[in-house]
Amino acid sequence: MIAPTDSLSPGLAEKPAIVIIGGGFSGAALAAHLAAGALSPVRIVLFEPSSRVGRGVAYNATGDHLLLNVPAGKLSVWPERPGDFADWCAASGRLASRDAFLPRAWFGAYVEAELATALRTASGLVEFERRHCRAHSVRFSPGGGALVRTEHGDDVHADRVVLALGHGPSTVPPVFRGLAAQQRIVRDPRDAARINALASTSRRVLIVGTGLTMIDTVASLARTGFKGDVLAVSRRGVPARSHGASDPAAHREWAGALHPARLTELIRAVRARCEEHPEDWRGVIDSLRPHTARLWRTLGPHDRRRFQKRVAPYWDAHRHRAPQVLAGTIAMLLERGKLGIGAAVIETARVKRHHVEVEMRAPRTKQSSRERFDVVILCTGPEPDPSKWGSPLVDSLLSQGVAVVDPLGLGFVTDGRGALRTASGVASERLFTIGPLRRPDSWESTAVPELSRQAQDLAQTLIEGMKPSSGRGRRAATSKEYSQ
């Protein structure tokens, strides 16, 4: 575990400073790559309010029943060592197959351990500081440098700032926004205490959302001994598919030759390939992964919007798949009639004394029904638009014009390095981001393989930019120089 004040070479206070805001997987991986690759003096300051780094929301799971959605042999902080997580598990006594879907908590422990190792073995060029708090705002000096203000009012000087903010808060559908604080509405499906309490007090549960979070929630309920019934609904009612045999290499040449001019061409090509190889549709989808950013960038604004609104739910269900053991639990509950999954639009919701009354409409038949549930659990996923997060940090950046949300509300407008573009379209040399906020540029910006590559590439960009010979190093600025 990394202590709050862990640092290396603490006496070299004049080193150029890189401030990383967010200590989940992306932030921890970036810090590890910076420590491992430093070529000149650098000070790394990592902001993370929680007690552990490398966990974030995804890998801070409290139970080993919550599994990774990717086999152990494909997960790593280091892109050049794709099986590093599996090797770490074996070395630490957690013996498992590289094809196994292991507990998320194990991966969080691995990421934290890798950062600790990178810091311990770093050269004397590196100084590391951990801040157990949130960053409240960032201000920039016209002459260079930035001032990061903490939630406690302290200021931290920085030469480069990286936003590793992860996913936004959970989306609350409009019909539930006035009810989110009610006891019978569970806004955070990862609240283990609330989920455990449901097992003994509820007989009928409504889950809003049918993706991977729904599967995790149903698995958590089943583990607690919940004997009641669960209904999961979403606008399209499409659940995440299961992992299985996949041979992307068999489709590599086909995927590389795809150069569609429009979204409709791409959809037809993928559908035709899946129909030609129904036994390996997973391989078809997986073969597109190295080309996702290229294909996304070729789409015009209209096609991107169409993909987001109409295609993304189906793409996500096939691209982001569930471990077979969890998919088996879902199949068993469906067969026993204890779980239902369907398409519905929730029109009204009213919290009564002993239940929640929900009116739902079937999208195809337009028929409405009114049903009662003991509890409603929102599994609607994170809000992608940072302007809707209610974050003082994000709001400060937007108000200064140093950050811009893309037209689809997927994240920030950046260049290929992850540098934020200003309101005038200029790519910053001082403000960068990593992770889901880069989805506007590449779409695929949430899974570990892509994020570890981003961390490696961004670390190299920052290291090169901080070299004394680059001419873009540290220049002290007075507090009056910083924009308000």
Percent of the chain surpassing pLDDT 70? 94
The pLDDT of residue 81? 97
Cβ-based neighbour number of residue 185 at 10 Å:
20
* Beta pairing partners, 405: 412
**pLDDT above 50 (res 476):** no
Among 9-18, 79-88, 227-236, name the one with the lowest average pLDDT.
9-18
- Would you state the pLDDT for residue 110? 98
pLDDT of 64 reads 86
The pLDDT assigned to 195 comes to: 85
* HEC per residue, 394-429: HHHHHHHCCCCECCCCCCECECCCCEEECCCCCEEE
Fold of 174-241+321-378: FAD/NAD(P)-binding domain (3.50.50)
Question: What are the beta bridge partners of residue 47?
Answer: 21, 131
pLDDT confidence of residue 484: 42
pLDDT at 469: 56
* Model confidence pLDDT, tens digit, residues 114-145: 999 999 999 899 999 999 999 999 999 887 89
User: What's the pLDDT score for residue 1?
Assistant: 53
The band of 5, judged by pLDDT with boundaries at 50, 70 and 90, is very low
Q: What is the mean pLDDT of residues 327-345?
A: 97
Classified as helix, coil or strand, 268 is helix
H helical segments located in 95-208? 104-120, 192-201
Using pLDDT thresholds of 50, 70 and 90, give the confidence band for residue 196.
Answer: confident
Q: Is 174-241+321-378 the same fold as 17-169+384-481?
A: yes
Helix (H, G, I), strand (E, B) or coil at 136: strand
Taken in order 264, 269, 272, 277, is the CA torsion positive or negative? negative
For the chain, give every domain's residue range.
Answer: 17-169+384-481, 174-241+321-378, 248-319
Residue 180 pLDDT: 78
Which whole number is the average pLDDT over 472-482? 51
DSSP secondary structure, 311-374, as one string:
IHHHHHHHHSPBPHHHHHHHHHHHHHTSEEEEE-EEEEEEE-SS-EEEEEE-TTT--EEEEEES
Residue 14 has pLDDT above 90, yes or no: no
Amino acid (one-letter) located at 317: A
Whether pLDDT at 389 is above 80: yes
Q: Measure the CA–CA gap between 471 and 464, rounded to whole angstroms.
A: 11
Closest to 132 measured CA to CA, from 250, 246, 3: 3
Q: Where in 160-244 does DSSP place strands (E)?
A: 160-163, 185-186, 204-208, 229-234
Model confidence at 165: pLDDT above 90: yes
**pLDDT value at 241 more than 50:** yes
Check residue 2 and give its pLDDT.
55
pLDDT at 481: 58
CA 46 vs CA 42, 147, 451: distances in Å: 13, 14, 17
pLDDT at 280: 98
Residues 379-383, mean pLDDT to the nearest whole number: 96
Look up tokens 């194990």; give the residue. 106
Amino acid 181: pLDDT = 82
C-alpha torsion angle, residues 137, 142, 146, 148 (rounded to 10): -20
Instruction: Answer yes or no: is pLDDT of 323 > 50.
Output: yes
CATH fourth-level superfamily of 17-169+384-481: FAD/NAD(P)-binding domain (3.50.50.60)
Look at residues 406, 432, 437 and name the one whose alpha carbon lies nearest to residue 166: 437
User: Can you tell me the mean pLDDT for 401-417?
Assistant: 98
- 59 φ, ψ to 5°? -110, 20
For residues 319 and 293, what is the distance between their CA atoms, to the nearest angstrom? Answer: 14
At 199 the pLDDT is: 80
Q: How far is CA 50 from the centre of its chain?
A: 17
* Residue with the two structure tokens 């002459």: 143
Side-chain-side CA neighbours of 235 within 13 Å: the count stands at 9
Q: pLDDT confidence of 466, banded at 50, 70, 90?
A: confident
Q: pLDDT (tens digit, 9 = 90+) per residue, 245-270?
A: 999 999 999 999 999 999 999 999 99
Q: Name every residue whose Cβ is closer than 8 Å to that of residue 128 and which is 6 or more positions away in sequence.
A: 6, 7, 8, 31, 35, 43, 44, 45, 46, 119, 122
* Beta-bridge mates of residue 345: 361
Q: Using CA atoms, how far apart are residues 200 and 382, in angstroms rounded to an integer?
A: 28
Question: Across residues 32-57, what is the average pLDDT?
Answer: 96
Given a cut of 80, is residue 468 above it in pLDDT? no
Whole-angstrom CA distances from 165 to 24, 117, 139, 310 are 8, 23, 17, 27
Residue 156 — very low, low, confident or very high, per pLDDT cuts 50/70/90? very high
Question: What is the pLDDT at residue 328?
Answer: 96
Residue 117 CA to residue 54 CA, distance in Å, equals 13
Per the CB < 8 A criterion, the answer to whether 445 and 174 are in contact is no
Hey, what are 25's tokens? Answer: 């997987």
